[in-house]
Amino acid sequence: MVESFQKHLKNSNGFTLVEMLLVLYIVLLTTSMVFHATANISEKRIVNQFFQQLMLDIQSAQAVAIEKETPITVRFIDESHFSANFLYSGKIVFERELPKNIKYNKHSNTKAIMFTANGNIGDFGTIRFYTRFGEVRLVVNIQEGRMRIIE
């Protein structure tokens, strides 16, 4: 019995090419599935973080308008930039760039958000953005500048 087992081991030369290719295919398939899922989650996180930061930037502009007692306008310059400026002097409060995977829709019914000296909204409406996951709308309500994101 031991002799037949030793004979069998001597005749065994390892794995065949087909077996190696099959294992390699399974490893590559699993790796690509994990990579694809991780990339989608990462991109979605970037989109969510941008919209949270956008709302914070707009609220920051509102706070500066109240503090300085002067109107401030948050304006979307083009598909990939927006800025906040003092209305009368034109001095820039901040300027930001949109992430590459988010585009501002030029046909939004609100192109700018103006805060009066007491922090109320002068311009209100919906600002639309395109992402890989669909359209996202930032709705700015009249009066105190409350905002909400609709995906």
- Residue 5: pLDDT above 80? no
* 51 occurs within a structural domain: yes
pTM above 0.85, yes or no: no
Could you tell me the CATH number of the domain that includes residue 69?
3.55.40.10
* 2 occurs within a structural domain: no
Contact assessment for residue 87 and residue 117, using Cβ atoms and an 8 Å cutoff: no
* Residue 126 Cα distances to 10, 22, 98, 108, angstroms: 76, 53, 17, 6
Q: In total, how many domains does the chain have? A: 1
Contact assessment for residue 61 and residue 150, using Cβ atoms and an 8 Å cutoff: no
* 11 occurs within a structural domain: no
* 1 occurs within a structural domain: no
The percentage of the chain sitting over the pLDDT mark of 70, rounded to a whole number, equals: 91
pLDDT in tens, 52-107: 999 999 899 999 999 999 999 998 888 888 889 898 888 888 899 988 889 998 88
* 111 occurs within a structural domain: yes
Q: Which structural domain, as residue segments, surrounds residue 40?
A: 17-150
Distance between CA atoms of 81 and 53, rounded to whole angstroms?
14
